[in-house]
Structure 1
Amino acid sequence: MRTFSFIISAFLACTTNLFAQDSLPKIYPDVYGLRIGIDVVKASRNFWDKDYKGLEFNADYRYNKKWYLAAEAGFEDKFKEDDQLSFTTTGMFLKLGAERNFHQNWLDMDNLIYVGGRYGLSYHNQTLHSYRVNTGNAYFDEEMQYPELKSTGLMAHWLELVVGIKVEVANNLYVGMNARLKGLIYQTQPEGFENLYYPGFGQKFSGNIGVGFGYTVSYMIPFKKKFNTVNTDRTLIRK
């Protein structure tokens, strides 16, 4: 009987100790730092698209628990040819903005599901190599002209709506993807021609609208940590 009582007492003591450990608050850090990366779509395109050269770097900085300051910068050199015309656009671009993380991370996870915006601008040159002229006569073929008309110092300004994700796949290493809806708000037109491609913006569709997507790889340079304490039921005690 005494042996049975001892076993029961020991079992209750162990169980109580386990529950006490499970109910202890856990401490985990929110990491604040600068994340720097590259758009792998533009980088890889240099190898499989002979008519394209370009590169885009991206960065974001965690301003507070939900908001990040963000930027992208780079250059593009794009040659385009079809039945009606051929041209080359080359130049640099810069995009500045912010994004809000809507993902609720658990403990030390640091993933993002975000929505944000950008203000973009480009400084570029454009060369019209050839274009086809409609003669207006059904008995004669359209004439191809080769003016090699170059326009320099062109500018474009636009706004972007950005939706994306970033996932930490290793310590401070992230992969991400994003989709963008873009709208031109200002541009300078080349002489005797129209802008059809803008560095950083891409191809323009009707109504000054553009779309885009990207895949990124980035690395976080941590600057500081803010520690949070939570119960095991995910109730936040202290931030």
Structure 2
Amino acid sequence: MRTFSFIISLILGCTNVFAQDVPQKIYPDVYVLRIGTDLVKASRNFWDKNYTGFEINADYRYNKKWYIAAEAGFEDRFKEDDQLTYTTSGMFLKIGADKNFHQNWLDMDNLIYVGGRYGLSYHNQTLHSYRVNTGNAYFDEEMQYPNLKTTGLMAHWLELVVGIKAEVANNLYIGMNVRLKGLVYQTQPEGFENLYYPGFDQKYSGNIGVGFGYTVSYMIPFKKKF
């Protein structure tokens, strides 16, 4: 009986030692950098003959909930309607932060986020043509062709961003977002008014703009615990 008890004790002791020696799989929180592009702007180069542009975007995980975000790019847009024809071309930069409200499992890094951006553009405007009301009902409006170009224009604005990002393959993310934008400062072209800004898109009444985007990005992880 004593021999049997000794064998049981020995087995239990070995089991405890073995359990302590087996490494446990840990899913640490890590810093991540995502780099990607806007699919709407990229695809528009193919289906819109009056548009050329691109955007590079990135976000960096600062801590468990907050991400530092930035977007930069170039746009050249020709616009023609019944009243006027113009071209806008230039660069833009946006910087800001996003807060993630999604509770991830294990080593996932998906986002449901709300964020903000400070945006600025440096661009040129060319007024190709516009119609002038003659004030006479018997004559058509006159079309003027000044081809007036103004360089060195600037615009500053703020954005409220709501969006999602989800991993669809290893380290590959697809996302979508909607934005509400408000101009805070701009320089106007000579004899004309800004109607489109690189990075801001079209301006509506009251200096307000709206937009949406679809993104694809690749995640570069850094194995660090918070």
Deviations 1:12-52 (A, max 9, x none): xxxxxxxxxxxxx9731222121100001100000000000
1: distance between equivalents of 2:218 and 2:108?
15
TM-score, normalised relative to structure 1: 0.83
SS of 2:224's partner is strand
- Which one-letter code corresponds to 2:207 in the other structure? N
Post-superposition offset of 1:193 = 0.3
SS of 1:225's partner is coil
Correspondence 1:210-225 to 2 at 5 A: 210-225=209-224
2: distance between equivalents of 1:100 and 1:29?
20
SS of 1:44's partner is helix
Equivalent residue pairs, number: 203
User: Partner of 1:34 in structure 2?
Assistant: 33
Correspondence 1:96-135 to 2 at 5 A: 96-135=95-134
User: Partner of 1:5 in structure 2?
Assistant: none
- Which one-letter code corresponds to 2:102 in the other structure? H
User: Partner of 1:95 in structure 2?
Assistant: 94
User: Partner of 1:78 in structure 2?
Assistant: 77
Post-superposition offset of 1:61 = 0.5
User: Partner of 1:200 in structure 2?
Assistant: 199
Deviations 1:177-224 (A, max 9, x none): 000000000000000000000000000000000000000000111122
SS of 1:79's partner is strand
2: distance between equivalents of 1:43 and 1:225?
33
Note the aligned Cα RMSD (angstroms): 1.1
2: distance between equivalents of 1:137 and 1:171?
67
Is there any run of 5+ residues in structure 1 with no aligned partner, and where? 1-24, 227-238
SS of 1:30's partner is coil
2: distance between equivalents of 1:162 and 1:201?
13
2: distance between equivalents of 1:57 and 1:41?
12
Post-superposition offset of 1:138 = 0.6
1: distance between equivalents of 2:107 and 2:59?
19
User: Partner of 2:188 in structure 1?
Assistant: 189
- Which one-letter code corresponds to 1:199 in the other structure? P
User: Partner of 1:174 in structure 2?
Assistant: 173
User: Partner of 2:67 in structure 1?
Assistant: 68
Identity of aligned residues (%): 88
SS of 1:185's partner is strand
Moved over 4 A (4+): none
1:139 lines up with 2:138 in the alignment: yes
TM-score, normalised relative to structure 2: 0.88
2: distance between equivalents of 1:115 and 1:104?
14
